[in-house]
Amino acid sequence: MSSADAHRPPETPRLLDHLIELRARLLRGAVGVILAFLGLMPFAGKLYTQLAHPLLKTLPNSGHLIATDPAGGFFVPMKLAFMTAVFVTAPWLLYQAWAFVAPGLYRREKRIALPLLVSAVTLFYVGCAFAYFVVLPAAFGFLARFTPDVVAQTPDIGKYLDFVSVIFLAFGASFELPVALVILVLLGWVTTAQLREWRGYAVVAIFAVAAVITPPDVVSQLMLAVPMCLLYEAGIIAARVVGKR
């Protein structure tokens, strides 16, 4: 080997190597979702019954869910089972994404990115749990009190699943606010002092967003807006702590 070859820098990984690695990570993530879906399929009916529990508690004795589509009684629970599989395997999917990206990060970037990723996943789950255990029972109870007695309450199972999915996504995404604020401060786009100064505008924006993405009732809007205001304050504190470190 010549001296020139000895001092030659190592060749950078080819694009094909990255594509192969990406394909492997995608396949592992897909296999995880499929296995979880197959495991949940026998319990699809029970999953839907559990999901409908906040609504069923507010319906009168004669109220029940219906399936307007002849095949809805089968496909809607299967759709819920698949959505639950994705929900349950989200940490596994994010791990595959992290394993693909992490080798290209510096140690300092890893120390920052990994806690933010874990916090984002945790807050999303907390937001969904808050929506299921607190928001849905309160919202359905509020709506049921204003429903005339002559109206037969027979919601469609497909529309109910779509409605609840939107609520879960709205609350799960909204609970990511502290992580978003920390990222903005770390990127240098805003400062914690500016976030404190903009507190009044943030509250107005939060209530406007809550009015748009929640059902048209005051209860669910307040139950989204108030936690988001608290999370905004938590985001300022977290950004100040992380920024000092």
pLDDT at 40: 93
101 or 11, which is more confident: 101
63 or 146, which is more confident: 146
12 or 36, which is more confident: 36
Average pLDDT, the chain: 84
Question: Which residue reads 């529309």 in tokens?
Answer: 159
Give the DSSP letter of residue 156.
Answer: B
pLDDT at 8: 46
pLDDT at 86: 94
Q: Mind giving me the DSSP string for 168-229?
A: HHHHHHHTTHHHHHHHHHHHTSS-HHHHHHTHHHHHHHHHHHHHHHS-SSHHHHHHHHHHHH
Beta-bridged to residue 156, according to DSSP, are 66
pLDDT (tens digit per residue) in 99-132 = 888 887 778 877 888 888 889 999 999 999 999 9
Beta-bridged to residue 66, according to DSSP, are 156
pLDDT at 112: 82
> What is the C-alpha separation between 54 and 168, in angstroms, rounded?
13
pLDDT at 151: 65
168 or 5, which is more confident: 168
Residue 201 tokens, joined: 């505008």
Report in angstroms the alpha-carbon separations of 84 from 27, 74, 77, 95, 114.
Answer: 19, 16, 10, 18, 24
Residue 51 tokens, joined: 């999901």
**pLDDT beyond 70 at 222:** yes
Q: How many CB atoms lie within 10 A of CB 182?
A: 26
146 or 192, which is more confident: 192
Q: Exposure string (b/e) for 46-72, b if CB count within 10 Å is 16 or more?
A: ebbeebbebbeebbeeebebeeeeeeb
The arithmetic mean of pLDDT across residues 13-31, rounded, is 84
Give the CA radius of gyration of the chain. 23
Domain residue limits, the chain:
15-243
Distance of CA 17 to the CA centre of its chain: 31
> What is the C-alpha separation between 111 and 105, in angstroms, rounded?
10
Would you say 167 and 136 are in contact if contact means Cβ atoms under 8 Å apart?
A: yes
Q: Mind giving me the DSSP string for 81-94?
A: HHHHHHHHTHHHHH
**pLDDT beyond 50 at 11:** no
pLDDT at 33: 94
**pLDDT beyond 70 at 12:** no
pLDDT (tens digit per residue) in 123-178 = 999 999 999 999 888 888 877 777 666 666 778 888 899 989 988 998 999 899 99
pLDDT at 9: 47
Of the pLDDT bands very low, low, confident and very high (cuts 50, 70, 90), residue 1 is very low
Residue 159 tokens, joined: 């529309």
